[in-house]
Amino acid sequence: MREEIDTEIVKLLEERELTVAFITRFLSERGFDVTRQLVERSLRRMVSLGVVEAFYTNGNKRKHYRLVR
């Protein structure tokens, strides 16, 4: 199941940069039973692997994620 979620996260991030809240929402809408904590864990792992990049924008305290190109 972890690989399925990672694949879906990559598909979402191919479209645009997103926060954890939006990623969790969009995964739930696609039929996945996920929590914010599960999404954060997956994103942290993907950041350490160099697949995803985390950043802050506009002085906003929320962390955004995008694919590394």
The CATH number of the domain holding residue 63 is: 1.10.10.10
Q: Which domain holds residue 54?
A: 2-67
Tell me the β-bridge partners of 54. Answer: 65
Number of domains in the chain: 1
Helical segments of 1-69, H only: 2-15, 20-29, 36-49
Distance CA 29, CA 35 (A): 12
Its sign, for the CA torsion 52, 10, 36, 19, is positive
Question: Residue 34: phi, psi to the nearest 5?
Answer: -125, 160
Q: Each residue of 15-52: pLDDT tens digit?
A: 999 999 999 999 999 999 999 999 999 999 999 999 99
pTM tops 0.95: no
Q: Which residue has the tokens 């906003």?
A: 60
